[in-house]
Chains A and B, each alone.
Chain A
Amino acid sequence: MTTMPYLEPRQTLPRRLLDWVVEWLPAFVVFALGLVTWQWILPDVVGIERFLLPRFSAVAETFWTERDALWSAGWFTFKEALGGWVAGCSLAFLAALVLARWRPLGRALMPYAIAANAIPIIAFAPITNAWFGTFSPTSKMAVAAVLCFFPVLVNSLRGLTSVRPESIELMRSYAASEVSIFWRVRIPTSLPFVFSGLKVASVLAMIGAIVGDYFGGSIEALGIQIRSSVGLSQFEYAWAAIVVASILGLLFYGAISLTERLVLHWHPSRRRGE
């Protein structure tokens, strides 16, 4: 327990820049190798055909020429994912608050929430289509919301109940009210758990919005465009749409991670630079 006080290493800017380049060099090399493989080795040497994976240059060209259609579809789908994410995560957090308040109930229901995580919820997409209409964004939002619900519920409940008993005893010694304990101890303790739930949920929301389209959806949506372009053998367009979906997924996840870093700047994990 006698660790040295943490001291920020002080280095010159060029030195840090060099370290950064060395650190990420292998990643850049892999990126370049990946592109070379995609562009030449797979089609020319291995003999992978266009319908499996078109050349990088072909996908990149479509990504540029069809940018308006692709991004408007991407935006349409992202709005569905975001709506579902907000609804699902808020409901899940509220449910976690209720279950954390009545601990025996929470303890009894926890295994079921975990098991519910194992249900292929995406298969319910046709049912939400029947509820809200096949072409309505609400039906995709509903699927995304249900997908988000269980991981956020499980994580939030874990967070809210993982408070050290001594912290509560300390607050009791100050004659703190339950409300005060809730805001000053339970919520801050739960935040790291909640954020990891929110991150998982962001990926699930995107999947829900895109894959939900495979059971039918608006022609403006990304998932429908992926499916129909595959059907029409426009593989370049399909892959370009995947790239759009990936960029949006990455941005969504990145935005939550950034918020997490800002909110949890105190968190000990920051010392390992994870």
Chain B
Amino acid sequence: MQLGGTSSGARAGSWAALAAGRIAVLVAVLLALGSLWEGYRWVWMSRGWTWPFEVSDRTMPHLHEIVAQLFRQWPEGGPVLGSTLLDAALFTAKEAAVGFAIGAVVGFALGAVIAHFRVLQRGLMPYVVASQTIPILAVAPMVVVGLGSGITVFGYAYVPADWLRVSVIAAYLTFFPVTINTVRGLHSADPLALQLMHSYAASRWTVLWKLRLPSALPYLFAAFKIAATASVVGAIVGELPSSIQSGLGGAILNFNQYYSAEPKNLWATNLVAALLGIAFFLAVVLAEKVVVHRAPERFA
């Protein structure tokens, strides 16, 4: 499709205006959320309302104090909390990214195989789909604790590194959506386009590479977006039962224990966790923009 004949100069100008508009909206949204928080806090505290919960410095610290906490030393004389949390976030990001990669590769491979054999599809898809309806994350403690004692396969013992055990959870959560959408995506090719490829006497591989895979990309990215978030959640939750202290999950557990002493630490940690989740999501969005050059379509 050819683009319209408007000059690139005008386009660059409108792009700058668009970017400025977006930043303005971002600032407005953040300000609105911030004032909602502070306003709620103020009204509930000044009225002494205790429903649905009692508002205090303990339950809802000032936003600016939460942000300021990131630049304070914790514990006293130690490193700045922000840098501790950054290290933790990077550790969790590593677990999540490795898990995401494993889950995506295995999920895609299985999806491709299932899509190729109809019998497999009828045999396996009901379970892959049903897996979407059950709280898979609940197995995290078993997998992480179980793998901690090492795994023996056909007599060969292997003890995975601590962070790798957590990655298994992230991989597990990535795997299912990717498998489902790979199957759907590979089947989504336009029947007419398939007939066209048939008329070229194209081989199965050519059809897969030149038609089925490109048609599947939007589906794949839709799955990657879900999985990006899920892998971060998996990494954080996976750290909880494994007594791994170096990640965000460990930090949350730790600061949760001392919440009454210093609630702002936990809030700051959650802020960092939220940013990590959004960063993972945006990374996938960016990758999609680079890889998929076509009119944006809506995929759930």
Contacts and interface: CB of A to CB of B under 8 A. Distances in A.
Nearest to A239: B142
B135 A119 contact: no
B138 A118 contact: no
Interface string A29-68: 1110010000000000111110111000000000000000
Given A47-B155, A115-B278, A123 B134 contact: no
B153 A207 contact: no
Interface string A212-241: 001110000011001100100001001101
Contact of A53 (B124, B146, B267): B146
A215 B270 contact: no
Contacts of A45: 154
Contacts of B269: 123
Contacts of A222: 138
A207 B140 CA distance: 11
A24 interface: yes
B232 interface: yes
Nearest to A129: B256
Interface in A113-146: 115, 117-120, 122-124, 126-127, 129-132, 138, 142
A117 B122 CA distance: 32
Given A47-B153, A108-B25, A210-B137, A126 B146 contact: no
Contacts of A252: 133
B221 interface: no
A38 to B, nearest CB: 13
Contact of B133 (A47, A158, A238, A253): A253
A14 B228 CA distance: 47
B123 A127 contact: no
B130 A250 contact: yes
Chief secondary structure at chain B's binding surface = helix
B259 to A, nearest CB: 6
A249 interface: yes
Contacts of A249: 133-135
Contacts of A203: 132-135
Contacts of B147: 52
Given A117-B229, A203-B133, A214-B237, A47 B59 contact: no
Interface string B184-209: 00000000000000000000000000
B248 interface: yes
Contact of B273 (A123, A131, A199): A123
B141 A123 contact: no
A90 interface: no
Contacts of A206: 134-135
Interface string B267-294: 1011001101110111000000000000
Contacts of A227: 141, 241
B300 interface: yes
B81 interface: no
A152 B229 CA distance: 17
B233 A122 contact: yes
Contact of A215 (B141, B151, B233, B253): B253
Contacts of A47: 152-155
Contacts of B123: 26-27, 29-30
Contact of A230 (B130, B145, B237, B263): B145
A196 interface: yes
A62 to B, nearest CB: 14
A17 interface: no
A51 B29 contact: no
B267 to A, nearest CB: 7
A92 interface: no
Contacts of B120: 26
Given A34-B127, A127-B267, A252-B133, 9 more contacts: A27-B122, A117-B229, A118-B277, A118-B282, A123-B269, A130-B59, A211-B137, A226-B138, A250-B134
Interface of B: 25, 29, 52-53, 58-59, 119-120, 122-124, 126-127, 130, 132-135, 137-143, 145-147, 149, 151-155, 225, 228-229, 232-233, 236-237, 240-241, 248-249, 252-253, 256, 259, 263, 266-267, 269-270, 273-274, 276-278, 280-282, 298, 300
